[in-house]
Amino acid sequence: MITAPHASAASLRPGGYLDRLAARIGVTGTVLCLGIDPDPEMLPDGFTRDAAGVGRFARLVLEAAGPHAAAVKVNVAFLERWGSAGVAELEAIRAATPGDLPFIADAKRGDIGSTAVQYARALFDTLGADAVTLSPYLGADTLAPFLERDDRFCYVLCRTSNPGAAELQGLEVAADPSIGAPAEPLASRVARRAPRWATHPGTLGLVVGATAPEELRDIRAIAPDVPFLVPGMGAQGGDQEAVLRHGPATAGPVATTAGGGLLVNVSRGIAGAAQGAADPAVALDAAARQWSTRLGVLG
């Protein structure tokens, strides 16, 4: 459990993503982010293994589990794989998302400037996502079209939760006196540099996996005022204690809000409850309630 500071979120941009997220956390009392990754092989009985079935199940997850979450994160690859039919289902999921539930498009985009402009328009303007996930590998200029939007939010991949993350993210890079950086792992350098790329305050966070608790602690020390989106809980076996201890911001305006800008994603840990259940909706509701409590914020 996280103890929520009693200060107001008024110091955040009124109506901005972090302001809305803080309000939602205050209402739900949790930092649970509902992950929707609708794998056709994992659907319960009664759902067809096609775009329509995947979309119908995703909307059921949203309807049954969404009321217990602070935000929803949809992995767009699970819909885009079906072509135009899947994109239509993705748009239907977005349309079904309540207005007070922040919608994150987990797209992991990152490309040269002219391409990034089109990705930003697709995700922010056409789909209407409140926030997106982005890859920093190509450098700051490739994220600029996303970060210039003061009405949206970007989570930059920093230390991911997959088993092979350390292969590149753990490589040591040389000291950089120009920014006061010692020799450190690449993930730490991303944490040090990426917040400097934000065009507007309160528009950039980091993705830091729950499966790397020591790295999460170190990255929080480097970026004390940056919101974290933490995947890797549930099926991936992430360290819940470390996440709730080191995940919330410790400095800046976001640190004074409920949850400290932290979101902890759970996907299969909730959706998997529907498999074999007599009533999938009831099972999803129960699983989401459990995770909401485990990731709760104490007043």
Share of the chain above pLDDT 90, in %: 91
User: Is residue 108 annotated as part of the catalytic site, yes or no?
Assistant: yes
Residue 298 is predicted with a pLDDT of 61
Residue type, 189: R
Give the tens place of pLDDT for each residue, 128-148.
Answer: 999 999 999 999 999 999 999
Mean predicted confidence (pLDDT) in 216-235: 93
Residue 74 is predicted with a pLDDT of 98
CB 22 within 8 A of CB 246: no
Residue 8 is predicted with a pLDDT of 30
Mean predicted confidence (pLDDT) in 227-255: 91
115, with CB counted inside 10 A (0-12, 13-18, 19+), is middle
Residue 14 is predicted with a pLDDT of 83
Residue 238 is predicted with a pLDDT of 81
Residue 20 is predicted with a pLDDT of 96
Looking at the predicted structure, is the pLDDT value of residue 7 above 80? no
Quote the mean pLDDT of the chain: 93
Reported as type and span, the H/E element at residue 122 is none
Domains and CATH numbers, the chain: 2-298 (3.20.20.70)
Active-site option among 108, 149, 193, 217: 108
Looking at the predicted structure, is the pLDDT value of residue 11 above 80? no
Looking at the predicted structure, is the pLDDT value of residue 3 above 60? no
- Burial of 57-90, coded b for 16+ CB within 10 Å and e otherwise, reads bbbbbbebbbbbbbbbbbbbebbeebeeebbebb
Residue 2 is predicted with a pLDDT of 59
**Local confidence band at 25 (pLDDT 50, 70, 90 cut-offs):** very high
Give the tens place of pLDDT for each residue, 68-92.
Answer: 999 999 999 999 999 999 999 999 9
Mean predicted confidence (pLDDT) in 247-261: 95
**Residue owning tokens 């292969």:** 167
Structure tokens at 70: 């602070």
Q: Of 13-17, 29-33, 102-106, give the lowest mean pLDDT range.
A: 13-17
